[in-house]
Structure 1
């Protein structure tokens, strides 16, 4: 059922080996920037997506067509948080993969052109499950930090061995200080660019926007510089 739901749709997996790099934010802004998209939160342990969109405590409606996505304008959002509300979830062993498959199988994806998957950090059952379901396009997120880049290389190497060419997104790469001045508080792009060259991956860098913090819980209302870069530089790789 899950495979059938994804047939004919472009699947995009936003992933990273490192936590705290802004993967869920990138997933949300990317899904909002694609026409006819559904965002599926496959981080079934922490469910950051519901927090970004202000959906905490809300339940998915279930119809004959399945689990109905939350609607935010043209975007549909599906999350385990819409089933368990704001309770934490502990899933031992392969149970995480089974929950993920069920979430996709019973979601009403309708006529969505794109399905954006927000994956948890690391290389676990989530990645293997998604590989079984569809041929996805990987978007790998890192920060410029040397530690982050070194950890993220595990994912890049894995994808390379699986014959996939990911897009590398360097989040929080710089801050525009005005008057043509740019600050790079987390380091320059050298480490990330070297990583991208090793795996023949295109690179997109996203800026720091302090105003984003005020949009947590209503990220669908944000239309600032980060979303602008996502529209201008990420979306063309995916459409």
Structure 2
């Protein structure tokens, strides 16, 4: 079944209010959730512009739409979400403490500081760990650490298209589909520029994390180097 047929089926099967939503009027920017408490310190450290983008701007819309589209794909991992929030808050505090304060009060002050826009966007875009926004951010970090920006963006576009196909197949089999997932599937695809910005934020975060955790990164590399199996695995992926 095509996306157009899924949209038409939604329109036939739902009431007038839902029809309006199914017909690509679902505004993902309207919904903002409270971030898990472990992420609150991070939110307090973000610059004005980055927090605005994460909560109400393009980054928020991208996170919301990705979270809705991939809802149910990842398992429930509350401990991972909690541990990651504690770690990103810890790293952000350290990065802010190490940062030169000269530009914080300048005209560029609202753009300075740690770039964790995609993390805060993900943290404020899911009602629970089950809905997957933070999982999607972690996937962005994985792709950014392996592929170039252009390659990672292209992979995101392919993942989105394949997920839409999977949703339409589920609908064709009369399987139960959450409304947000169906709405995300029938909407126009996320623009490549938005996905590129999503990837860029993940890359910026990885650079910050690597600089703060440089000593531990060196320790890990030494451990991997001296562990034959881990070293072989590392060389395979590189």
Please give the TM-score of this superposition, normalised by the length of structure 1: 0.22
Instruction: Give 1 or 2: higher strand fraction.
Output: 1
Instruction: Give 1 or 2: higher helix fraction.
Output: 2
Whose radius of gyration is greater, 1 or 2? 2
